[in-house]
Amino acid sequence: MIFNITNYHNKLSLLETEKAIKFIKDGFQKKLASALNLTRVSAPLFVFQNTGLNDDLNGVERKVEFSAKDLNGNIQVVQSLAKWKRNALHNYGFGVGQGIYTDMNAIRRDEDLDNLHSIYVDQWDWEKVILKEDRNLDFLFDTVKLIYKAVVDEEREVNAKYTCLNEKLPDQITFISTEELEERYPNLSRKERENKITEEYHAVFLYRIGWPLKDGLPHDGRAADYDDWNLNGDILLYNPILHRAFEISSMGIRVDAKSIQEQLKAKHEEVKLFSPYTQNIIMNVLPLSIGGGIGQSRLCMYFLEKAHIGEVHPSLWSDEDKKKAEELDIHLL
């Protein structure tokens, strides 16, 4: 379903858009790597099911699965690399303060398709080794500020090259917890709260996502076995084209031996305690880490003032959506 938008006009042609996408991707990943001391590595498109390395997202999304002629076992296309990255830090032998980033390409077959969501997902996934004493909000917030500065710097370079685009980002990002947001807007839905707070501040880090709020439900779904729900969050921007909150990153300090057991129990997913991945966390085989994903197409869509994610990456859409996109001057790739 395509959102209704008014007075939308594409500022860049299809060819200009493709060139701008490359400009953004080349520039931002260098800034991110420099800010967080990350090394680029190659990443898998699929993993064996029994490794426990695939991301379960909210726990209800179906994975794309297949078998291979010369391999035994069920193979799954990744939904994200949240778990694989921490395993990679261990396998590559990275030290404290060092990390990795990679191009993550995924298929999410159960995504509700609209202006912001496609069955194809592309992210810069990153992960970094930290110390036990780094597992606190101050360290999380400092990392968010480094990422946000890279986003602001990239926007300025994009706008300097494409002068038809507008400056949209404030110099600083605002931090607010899900509990504080609930107190502020108790009568609004979760998404309405995000829309309100981003409309006011334009760039927000909404943290502590996963544990129940006063009404007994979490602000949003989070897998129990990678982010520590007390030390995670989303970077949200206000999208002036769509007039709503626009998530560009989900990130957090990762679970340790204690928090992974508490969170799996809270979600009644104790069966995951016996996966190789979980056991490696409980036995302190895997390093403590912080990590996240930054949407490549989301960032391009935001900088280039596009109304639909299909304008910055090719995917599949219904005939009805393609017809409506044409009526709204939305150029799907």
User: Which residues are known to be catalytic?
Assistant: 55, 108, 123, 234, 247, 250
For residue 157, is it left (φ>0), alpha (ψ between -120 and 50) or beta? alpha
Distance separating alpha carbons of residues 75 and 64, to the nearest angstrom:
8
Q: Which residue has the tokens 């007075």?
A: 7
DSSP β-ladder status, 120-129 and 99-107: antiparallel
Distance separating alpha carbons of residues 299 and 215, to the nearest angstrom:
33
Distance separating alpha carbons of residues 168 and 303, to the nearest angstrom:
8
- Is residue 304 within 8 Å of 11, Cβ to Cβ? yes
Count of CB atoms within 10 A of residue 178's CB?
24
Spacing of C-alpha 162 from chain mean position: 26
Type of residue at 13: S
Burial class (CB in 10 A: 0-12, 13-18, 19+), 8: middle
- Is residue 37 within 8 Å of 97, Cβ to Cβ? yes
Type of residue at 190: R
> What Cα–Cα distance (Å) separates residue 128 from each residue in 76, 183, 223?
25, 33, 19
- Tokens standing for residue 103: 């191009």
Residues 6+ apart with CB under 8 A from 76: 46, 47, 48, 49, 54, 63, 64, 65
